Amino acid sequence: MFVETSHLPPKLGNIVHSDPNISTTNINHDDADNNYNARHSSFSAYEANRLSGEGSPMMMSPWNQGSPFTKSPWSKFDDQDGNSQNIPQNGLIGSLVREEGHIYSLATKNDLLYTGSDSKNIRVWKNLKEFAAFKSNSGLVKAIIISGEKIFTGHQDGKVRVWKIQAKNPGTYKRAGTLPSFFDIFKASIKPSNYVEVKRNRTGLWIKHVDAISCLSMDQTHGLLYSASWDRTFKVWNVDNSKCIESVKAHDDAVNSVVTSVEGIVYTGSADGTVKVWQRENSGKNTKHVFVQTLLNQECAVTALAVNRSGSIVYCGSSDGVVNFWEREKQLSHGGVLKGHKLAILCLAAAGNLVLSGSADKTICVWRREKSVHTLLSVLTGHNGPVKCLAVEEDKESTGSDQKWVVYSGSLDKSVKVWSVSEKAPMMMQNNMHGDNVTWDSVPSAKY
């Protein structure tokens, strides 16, 4: 929602639209298009005029401080006959609605769904029913990632919090620490060389984010956690000892997304309009990420990234509603663009031969890839607010001949929706502006 700022300090910088939070009522789509196509410098932990409503803790709407263990009044949708066979190939399974806060992050593993919101609660769901809950003391939950028995959450206050599942009671989660730890901050603060410039005339410890964390990514093989932040950096953490082993000044504006891929490749996307490629290099005990190339350099903000499981395709969503993709087998040459949204892309997810894009236009596009061509299978509609996050897991009923996925979508309408998506779903047809029946395919690559 747009937030009144008359009581806040004077404007410290220009606005950014890298993490949009649009009002779901009384908004003109033409105005929204104009807003999203703008891109300005945003680096400030406390900017008064960030339209996202999340620019700093001062900007946030009042949080619900109720206990996270209060029974949640979520509603569930079932088909009228109670027969799962009636669910369409690509359609809604359930809708979870709670007046607790906007949904900013999702993660799923082993039939458990984790949801993070601006209420600071992390809730755990099993079979669409509440299974457990735990609560952070501060900082909207902007990212969730799971590694073994640990859950990492990235927050608006620039901290990564670590939670552990209790072995004796799988429904109980206990706070296991914060990245960086208080002791690490104290130890680092003694040495002057540990201070770096974080903005003009301001220094901070290199192990500590000084603005909101926007995204988390995990290299499970090497036990490395990556955190991206609006402070223009991404940091690398050793999961085993919770130490920050590297901080990379990656962009000229907020880093909105970081994703890890095969062979130590890391991609970052920023509000400065660029997508950059980094290569991890190990020298003894030291880890260093070296800049390789810039894949994209455009005027509008890069808002989301995703890489398919094999690492062969990298996708980039932008505030202009377009998804670009590159093919690693062709030396990361530009493969084309996917055009299916009217407003900014806010999240992306890749699963099997599918890529899903969630947008500020309240819809989710489901694309199927065949070699270098992407075809729009479905546009999932039903949310009443921007689709902020996506999570995907394989459907248990999936077969070799019919690969199915369960897709979770979190929205700024305070709901999570659950969808059944099939790779064999029939290709959808769309009417263009001339009334002709045409298919929506990816547009071939063009030189910038």
Tell me the pLDDT band of 167, cut-offs 50, 70 and 90: confident
How buried is residue 221: exposed, middle or buried, by Cβ count under 10 Å (0-12/13-18/19+)?
A: exposed
> How many Å apart are CA 140 and CA 21, to the nearest integer?
14
Q: Is residue 148 part of a domain?
A: yes
Within 166-271, strands assigned E span 173-179, 195-199, 202-205, 213-219, 224-229, 233-238, 243-249, 255-260, 265-270
Q: Is residue 113 part of a domain?
A: yes
Q: Is residue 22 part of a domain?
A: no
pLDDT at 29: 39
pLDDT at 441: 57
Residue 211's domain is classified under what CATH number?
Answer: 2.130.10.10
Do 291 and 276 meet the contact criterion of CB atoms below 8 Å apart?
yes
pLDDT at 200: 74
How buried is residue 176: exposed, middle or buried, by Cβ count under 10 Å (0-12/13-18/19+)?
A: middle
Would you call 182 helix, strand, or coil by DSSP?
Answer: helix
> How many Å apart are CA 319 and CA 309, to the nearest integer?
25
pLDDT at 8: 33
Encode pLDDT of 218-267 as tens digits: 999 999 999 999 999 999 999 999 999 999 999 999 999 999 999 999 99
Name which of 95-99, 130-134, 245-249, 297-301 the model is least confident about. Answer: 95-99
Task: Determine the structural domain holding residue 220 and report its residue range.
Answer: 91-422
Q: Is residue 78 part of a domain?
A: no
Name which of 13-17, 198-202, 366-370 the model is least confident about. Answer: 13-17
Pick from 227, 225, 204, 205: nearest CA to 214: 227
Q: Is residue 58 part of a domain?
A: no
Q: Is residue 163 part of a domain?
A: yes
Indicate if the pLDDT at residue 51 is higher than 60.
Answer: no
Q: How many domains are contained in the chain?
A: 1
Q: Which two tokens stand for residue 40?
A: 């300005």
Q: Classify strands 112-117 and 243-249 as parallel, antiparallel or unpaired.
A: unpaired
pLDDT at 429: 52
Q: Is residue 128 part of a domain?
A: yes
Indicate if the pLDDT at residue 10 is higher than 70.
Answer: no
How buried is residue 197: exposed, middle or buried, by Cβ count under 10 Å (0-12/13-18/19+)?
A: exposed
> How many Å apart are CA 9 and CA 13, to the nearest integer?
11
pLDDT at 64: 31
- Give the length of the chain: 448
Indicate if the pLDDT at residue 201 is higher than 90.
Answer: no
DSSP 387: E
Tell me what the mean pLDDT of segment 84-108 comes to: 79
Tell me the pLDDT band of 286, cut-offs 50, 70 and 90: confident
For residue 319, which amino acid is it?
Answer: S
Q: Is residue 57 part of a domain?
A: no
Tell me the pLDDT band of 9, cut-offs 50, 70 and 90: very low
